[in-house]
Structure 1
């Protein structure tokens, strides 16, 4: 049976399918989670151990982030990273200024879902697109800087700076510590980087299953429509900002558009943030589904727009070269 290949044909399938399975278990067998035998079992640990699984994932993810960067990588990576985080911060400030209820904006969208989706780029998608369409190999390596977006740290920071939530200082330290631990191990030892980086792909469906097991599908009827709108917002708004940031720093805009997406691991952020700030516990489950929907939408639209822009840019450059030669 081609189970893995079938799942991978679906955009974000390795996160989406296990999450859906977990949500179906929670929706149709909610009494299971109250059984003492279940709570004390390995099965219970697998379906409810989100925090432990996420901590392990961030250690593995951190091992892939390199400390060193060339000038081009640094310029490209920092410009796109600042553009992404800066856009999420501006959106959060607008929500604070204009929305009386940050948890129920429209169609069930919350500040938590919006900031989580806007502040984290799909690294695998970006690197695949730049490997095929980028001008330089360094365009791919620029994600080593952008990968700092991963995890709940910047979502918490943006929400805190915008006044949409308050977090104790230690919460920030403990949120980013697993990622830093992974970074240190990966940069001190190349074998550790190789060893840990392989594990991150395995952990994704496992923590997705646990995330899904915390979601009751009967309470998230509107998540589909609002998630699609959220994904469209990520592509359009961050796409424009990152296109301009790329052009300003000497690029052709293709890398900027390629970064206008939502990372699969962003689906884990709402629950992680809600564990620290109780004001978001009510909307964390819905936000998880909305961000997951945004992951799928951006995984479909971002490659289409990036390929279109790359083709258009290539035609312009060809015409310019022909004119110069004449």
Structure 2
């Protein structure tokens, strides 16, 4: 059976399919993991430990030695993604002062859901698209985009807009595992290769652990809202990313539209934020569903848009 191949071919499959399995178990047999004891139960409750180990692998995969062009391109895209997420957070804060929409077409919409959906790019998809439609330097820009992985930037945005407050030690604690991997990976190439192998396996277990907190009824309730959010993310972040790619990074916008997708790991952010700031726990349940829906939709739509845009840009925009 080609299980791994199937997961890789499915958009966000490494994260979303284990998450769906966990959600099915939690919906129909909510106590079964605990019934089989602490070791089995840890698979459904150990997201914090899993994400910490995963951060070590992410840090190890970032190479200190990179060409200035790659750093410039990746830095521009990273900063633009954060800027777009910050602006969106400010807008949502004004439109939804009560925190979250609890009924209607936009059920589950909150600043947490919007920021988590907008501040993390699917680096793998970005690399594949820019290799096909862009340049070598643009493909290499995924170098810094991987730093977006995890709740750090979401915490920064929510904190600076006044929607949540986090003790400084929580920010430091999020960075430490990443720094550990980064230092080890850059001191020893063999260690970098070794630790980088953690990335994919950890995503599978993280997905299952998150799914084990989701009830499938909430997915049904927030389905349309997730579709609306997905297209909002592509249009809103894509607009800023294309402009910054053209005017700041001196590209033709192809890398910008390719970066408007959402990483599968983004689905983990709301629940991780809720662990640090329990007041957002109810929002996190819906936000996880919304962001998961966005991951799938952007994984299908962004490649199509990038293909059409790249063909148009070749004849209308000079690098």
Same fold per TM (> 0.5)? Answer: yes
Residue of structure 2 aligned with 1:74, choices 65, 71, 75: 71
Residue of structure 2 aligned with 1:53, choices 50, 53, 61: 50
Give the equivalent residue in structure 2 for 1:171: 170
Q: 1: CA distance between counterparts of 2:139 and 2:229?
A: 26
Q: Which moved more, 1:275-284 or 1:217-226?
A: 217-226
Contact 1:103 1:283 in 2 (8 A): yes
Q: 2: CA distance between counterparts of 1:205 and 1:104?
A: 31
Give the equivalent residue in structure 2 for 1:148: 147
Unaligned residue ranges in structure 1 (runs of 5+): 321-326
Give the equivalent residue in structure 1 for 2:181: 182
Contact 2:122 2:261 in 1 (8 A): yes
Q: Determine whether 1:86 maps to 2:112.
A: no
Aligned residues: CA RMSD: 1.6
Equivalent residue pairs, number = 314
Q: Determine whether 1:314 maps to 2:308.
A: no
Q: 1: CA distance between counterparts of 2:314 and 2:89?
A: 36
Q: Determine whether 1:303 maps to 2:303.
A: yes
How far is 1:33 from its partner? 5.1
What's the secondary structure of 1:196's corresponding residue? helix
Q: Which moved more, 1:46-55 or 1:90-99?
A: 90-99
TM-score (structure 2 length as normaliser): 0.94
Contact 2:47 2:209 in 1 (8 A): yes
How far is 1:316 from its partner? 4.1
Q: 2: CA distance between counterparts of 1:68 and 1:103?
A: 43
Which structure 2 residues correspond to residues 115-264 of structure 1 after superposition, within 5 A?
Answer: 115-135=115-135, 137-249=136-248, 250-264=250-264
Q: 2: CA distance between counterparts of 1:33 and 1:47?
A: 7
How far is 1:67 from its partner? 2.4
Q: Deviations over 1:189-241 (max 9, x none)?
A: 11111111122111111110111001112234322211111111111111110
Which structure 2 residues correspond to residues 98-117 of structure 1 after superposition, within 5 A?
Answer: 98-104=95-101, 106-117=106-117
Q: Which moved more, 1:194-203 or 1:83-92?
A: 194-203
Q: Deviations over 1:164-183 (max 9, x none)?
A: 11111111111222112111
Q: Deviations over 1:285-307 (max 9, x none)?
A: 22112111111111111111111
Q: Deviations over 1:138-168 (max 9, x none)?
A: 1111121222211110000000001111111
TM-score (structure 1 length as normaliser): 0.92
**CA distance change for structure 1 residues 203 and 34 in 2, over 3 Å: closer, same or farther?**
closer
What's the secondary structure of 2:252's corresponding residue? coil
How far is 1:283 from its partner? 2.0
Q: Deviations over 1:78-115 (max 9, x none)?
A: 11111100010111112223322122273221211110
Q: 2: CA distance between counterparts of 1:289 and 1:178?
A: 27
Contact 2:23 2:215 in 1 (8 A): yes
What's the secondary structure of 2:220's corresponding residue? coil
**CA distance change for structure 1 residues 144 and 8 in 2, over 3 Å: closer, same or farther?**
closer
Contact 1:151 1:176 in 2 (8 A): no
**CA distance change for structure 1 residues 205 and 34 in 2, over 3 Å: closer, same or farther?**
closer
Q: 2: CA distance between counterparts of 1:221 and 1:244?
A: 36
Give the equivalent residue in structure 2 for 1:18: 18
What's the secondary structure of 1:281's corresponding residue? helix
Q: 2: CA distance between counterparts of 1:314 and 1:90?
A: 30
Q: Which has the larger radius of gyration?
A: 1
Contact 2:85 2:115 in 1 (8 A): yes
